[in-house]
Amino acid sequence: MLERMYLRWCERRRFKADVLDWQPGEQAGIKSATIQVTGRFAYGWLRAERGVHRLVRISPYDAQNRRQTTFALVEVMPEADDDVEIELNWDEIRADTFRSSGAGGQHVQKTESAIRLTHLPTGIVVTCQNERSATQNRELAIRVLKSRLLEIELEKREEELRKIRGEHVTAGWGNQIRSYVLHPYQMVKDLRSGHETSNTGAVLDGDLDAFMQAELERLATGRPPSADDAAD
């Protein structure tokens, strides 16, 4: 549901969205997905979406129609451009190739075109398998790995700035930032800015600008996150 929501948001913004990797869940849904978004200020907007998203609904997979709560983690990383000095030490990286697991033609079945890069010092694992050639998947995996290493550096800098500003960080239920409640009532609420709406259908269809704007304004003013808890 979140993958579709962000892809629809990209369509609304006329941003280019490419799914670099997609891993199905063991029983249903998605285990993980990596999407590259290209557009003016794409990272500036999407950085407001980082964190844990909480969904409350009647599970379609439960025969007893019980209300269930699920969580999904959203990570947003800037792409490491060629101008950014992110050097990879290949002595610290393990590269594995394997056959793509998704549906495809004979090429997918016969060649090990998928690539998995493991950065040993940090434990970061990057998998790319959606391109047809091993070379293309390797290039994409390297770019994603550089982006994640760049994000680590940016987080270190942001942490230093938070210490200097004395920004207040509240301890919440994990890192939960937003709740999507579809039962017994309709409500989407951001726990940081306090912005909320009962039009859950529009939000899940990509209408996210108001939430992003509210969080970016909160960050710009240095206002601490909202103390209100999400409704069960």
Residue-wise pLDDT for 160-193, tens only, equals 756 654 444 332 356 689 999 998 899 999 999 9
Per-residue model confidence (pLDDT) at position 211 = 97
Please tell me the distance from the alpha carbon of residue 45 to that of residue 98, in angstroms, as a whole number.
35
Per-residue model confidence (pLDDT) at position 165 = 45
Residues 6+ apart with CB under 8 A from 222: 165, 167
Per-residue model confidence (pLDDT) at position 118 = 94
Please tell me the distance from the alpha carbon of residue 172 to that of residue 43, in angstroms, as a whole number.
25
Instruction: Give the amino acid at 35.
Output: I
Residues 6+ apart with CB under 8 A from 135: none
Per-residue model confidence (pLDDT) at position 133 = 85
Please tell me the distance from the alpha carbon of residue 133 to that of residue 140, in angstroms, as a whole number.
11
Please tell me the distance from the alpha carbon of residue 115 to that of residue 85, in angstroms, as a whole number.
23
**Tokens standing for 156?**
């270190």
Q: Are 123 and 181 in contact (CB under 8 A)?
A: no
Per-residue model confidence (pLDDT) at position 83 = 52
Concatenated DSSP letters of 182-196: -SSS-EEEETTT--E
Residue-wise pLDDT for 38-51, tens only, equals 999 999 999 999 88
Per-residue model confidence (pLDDT) at position 152 = 85
Domains in the chain (CATH in brackets) are 1-76+176-232 (3.30.70.1660), 80-166 (3.30.160.20)
Per-residue model confidence (pLDDT) at position 228 = 57
* DSSP code at position 133: S
Q: Are 175 and 169 in contact (CB under 8 A)?
A: no
For the chain, 232 residues long, the average pLDDT of each consecutive 10-residue run is 96 95 83 93 92 87 80 83 71 88 51 87 90 87 89 78 48 72 94 96 97 94 70 46
